[in-house]
Amino acid sequence: MATTPPLPARGWAASAADAPLAPITFERRAPRDGDVVIDIDYCGICHSDVHTVRNEWHGTAYPCLPGHEIVGRVREVGPGVIDFKPGDVVGVGCLVDSCRECPSCRRGLEQYCVRGATQTYNWPDPDFDRRTFGGYSTTIVVQERFVLRVPETLDPAAAAPILCAGITTWSPLRKFGAGPGVHVGVAGFGGLGLMAIKLARALGAEVTAITRSPEKGEHAKAAGAHDVVISTEKDDLRRARMSLDLIIDTIPVHHELNPLLKLLRLDGNLVLVGAIEPFDEGLDARLLYLRRSITASAIGGLPETQELLDFCGEHGIVADIETIPMERVNSAYDEIAAGKIDFRYVIDMATL
Chain contacts with a copy of itself (rule: CB under 8 A):
103-104, 109, 112, 114, 175, 242, 266, 269, 272, 276-286, 288-298
Q: Which is nearer to a copy of itself, 251 or 312 (CB)?
A: 251
CA separation for the pair 339, 323 (Å, rounded): 18
C-beta atoms surrounding 307 within 10 Å: 17
Smallest separation (angstroms) from a copy of itself to the CB of 63: 27
Q: How far is the CB of 172 from a copy of itself (least distance, A)?
A: 8
Contact predicate 301/142, CB 8 Å: no
Q: Write the single-letter amino acid at 258.
A: N
For residue 107, the minimal CB distance to a copy of itself (Å) is 8
DSSP H or E run through 135 = none
Closest distance of CB 111 from a copy of itself, Å: 9
CB of 150 to a copy of itself, least distance (A): 26
- With respect to a copy of itself, which residue has the nearer C-beta, 119 or 297? 297
For a copy of itself, the closer of residues 22 and 114 by Cβ is 114
Compute the distance between CA of residue 252 and CA of residue 1 in angstroms, rounded to an integer. Answer: 42
How is residue 163 annotated by DSSP? G
Contact 37, 60 (CB under 8 A): no
User: In angstroms, rounded to a whole number, what is the distance separating the alpha carbons of residues 36 and 73?
Assistant: 10
Beta bridge partners of 115: none
* Of residues 232 and 295, the one with the C-beta less far from a copy of itself: 295
Side-chain half-sphere CA neighbours of 252 within 13 A:
19
> Is the Cβ of residue 235 or residue 289 nearer to a copy of itself in the bound state?
289
